[in-house]
Amino acid sequence: MKKTPAKKTKQQANVRPVVSKATIKDTNKRQAKPCFNPWSLSIYVYWFIILFFIAATFYILGRSHNSANMNNVRITEEILLQANDYYESGKTKLLAGNIEEAITDLTASIDAGVASVESYILRGEAYLQSGDYRNAMEDFNTALSKDPANAVAYYDRSLLNTRLEDYAAAMNDINNAMAANVTHPSQFLQMRDLYAKRGQLNLWMKNWEGAIADYTNSLARPEGSVNPSVYAERAEAYTAIGDLSAAVNDYGSAVRVISEQIQGAPSVEERESLSNRAMGYFEKSAALNLKLGNTEMARVDLESAYTIAVALNDAETTARLQELINGINETVEQ
């Protein structure tokens, strides 16, 4: 027979089971423990895959870039060789006087995409010789933008500005050329020539003292050979300030230099050109000697000029000089 459980009294029913603090703490720990979430693992895997593909993409692009660089090196070497061939051809043609062909080759060298400063300078010189001053100026400016310390580019632009009669700009360029040539010497320029060029600009700008100083510095330089024009142009500056004796001496020095050059002249044309210059210097010296009252020296100068005119078969100049000599002789006799 099934036993019927006894009913709890009201007091027993209201009694709550006693739970210790340790039991409560242990229960809380079990409730706080996180349960496994399969989506968490999926997210980690997803980001891992993304990072892997990013890294792989950069790796592939890097290899492609390196390969392209290697191809560019090969192409650049070919372009450099081609540009250099055009440059050398243009330089040769320019020296031979084939100006238009030189411009064509130098343009091809520049258009190759690896143009050197020298290519722009040479093409600028070719344009200068052809009378295309606008393109010459552009090339010299480009050369200087690439190499601000290039003495040759400054010198060439000075020559161009001189032809354009912008003497102030030409003077600024020749000063820059001299400064650049001191810090970065050029094998194509000598300080002797730079001083002479600046002296010429000072002469045209009527800065007589500056011209004399520059010509004197040019003559004092040890490198290169003396240009007789330096003596003759300094004589003009001396004449302008009234130092006629110094001017006569300079004309005499110019003639001596020409006499030495005539002996080594390689052609008849060059000897005749030098002889004509000497004849002109003798006439100028004669005129100054007359102003100084040196009549005898003036006659000697004119007779020297007369001798050269006869040797050159210059009948007109011979007749004119003979009249001048006769006039001096008449003055002396009186």
| Tens digit of each residue's pLDDT (9 = 90 or more) over 206-230 | 999 999 999 999 999 998 889 999 9
pLDDT of residue 18: 43
Is residue 42 exposed (0-12), middle (13-18) or buried (19+ Cβ within 10 Å)?
exposed
pLDDT of residue 224: 86
pLDDT for 49 beyond 70: no
- Residue 54, in any domain of the structure: no
pLDDT of residue 331: 80
Query: Which pTM value belongs to this model?
Result: 0.73
pLDDT of residue 30: 47
**114 and 216 part of one domain:** no
> Given 147, 180, 209, which residue is the final one in a domain?
147
**240 and 140 part of one domain:** no
Mean pLDDT of the chain: 84
pLDDT for 27 beyond 90: no
* Closest to 247 in 3D by CA, of 235, 229, 233: 235
Helices (H), the chain: 10-13, 21-32, 38-95, 99-109, 117-130, 133-146, 151-163, 167-183, 191-204, 208-220, 228-240, 244-263, 268-292, 295-311, 315-333
- Residue 230, in any domain of the structure: yes
**106 and 181 part of one domain:** no
Range in 73-82, 107-116, 239-248, 311-320 the model is least confident about: 73-82
**203 and 233 part of one domain:** no
**116 and 143 part of one domain:** yes
What number is the average pLDDT over the span 303-322?
96
Q: In the structure, what pLDDT confidence band is assigned to residue 269 with cuts at 50, 70 and 90?
A: very high
pLDDT of residue 112: 83
pLDDT of residue 332: 76
What number is the average pLDDT over the span 23-29?
46
- Residue 65, in any domain of the structure: no
- Residue 51, in any domain of the structure: no
CB atoms within 10 A of CB 329: 12
206: domain CATH number is 1.25.40.10
pLDDT of residue 4: 46
pLDDT of residue 67: 43
**216 and 254 part of one domain:** no
**80 and 104 part of one domain:** yes
pLDDT of residue 47: 54
- Residue 7, in any domain of the structure: no
What number is the average pLDDT over the span 121-127?
97
Radius of gyration of the chain (CA): 46
- Residue 201, in any domain of the structure: yes
139-172: per-residue pLDDT in tens?
A: 999 999 999 999 999 999 999 999 999 999 999 9
CB atoms within 10 A of CB 208: 19
Q: In the structure, what pLDDT confidence band is assigned to residue 75 with cuts at 50, 70 and 90?
A: very low
**110 and 166 part of one domain:** no
The proportion of the chain whose per-residue pLDDT surpasses 90, expressed as a percent, equals 68
92-119: per-residue pLDDT in tens?
A: 999 999 999 999 999 998 998 778 899 9
pLDDT of residue 330: 85
> Given 196, 220, 244, which residue is the final one in a domain?
220
- Residue 328, in any domain of the structure: yes
Decide which of 115 and 53 is more confident.
115
What is the count of structural domains for the chain?
Answer: 3
**157 and 184 part of one domain:** yes
**229 and 331 part of one domain:** yes
Q: In the structure, what pLDDT confidence band is assigned to residue 2 with cuts at 50, 70 and 90?
A: very low
> Given 147, 169, 201, which residue is the final one in a domain?
147
- Residue 164, in any domain of the structure: yes
pLDDT of residue 82: 76
Q: Under 8 Å CB-to-CB from 142, ≥6 apart: which residues? A: 120
**214 and 237 part of one domain:** no
pLDDT of residue 221: 94
Could you tell me the residue range of the domain that residue 289 belongs to?
225-334
Q: In the structure, what pLDDT confidence band is assigned to residue 83 with cuts at 50, 70 and 90?
A: confident
**142 and 157 part of one domain:** no
